[in-house]
Amino acid sequence: MPKMKTKRGAAKRFRVRPSGKITRAQAYKRHILTKKTTKNKRQLRGTTDVHANDVPAIKALLPYA
């Protein structure tokens, strides 16, 4: 049986924490930033956890994570 391949697009977007939680970057921070407030852009920094409903699908994309 050949090895399973990791979906590289998902590997670049998600990180699995030692606790098993999956984190992701915040959206809405790429372009059209002039109309967004400084407070809004500041709060979009950093990472957040993936919603529990999406975790099984992401774990299927990352078989070795």
pLDDT in tens, 24-45: 999 999 999 999 999 999 999 9
Query: Which domains, from first to last, does the chain contain?
Result: 8-61 (4.10.410.60)
| CA neighbours closer than 13 Å in the CB half-sphere of residue 33 | 11
Average pLDDT, stretch 49-63?
Answer: 97
Q: Please tell me the predicted confidence (pLDDT) of residue 65.
A: 86
- Nearest residue to 55 via CA among 8, 33, 23, 25: 23
The reported pTM is 0.84
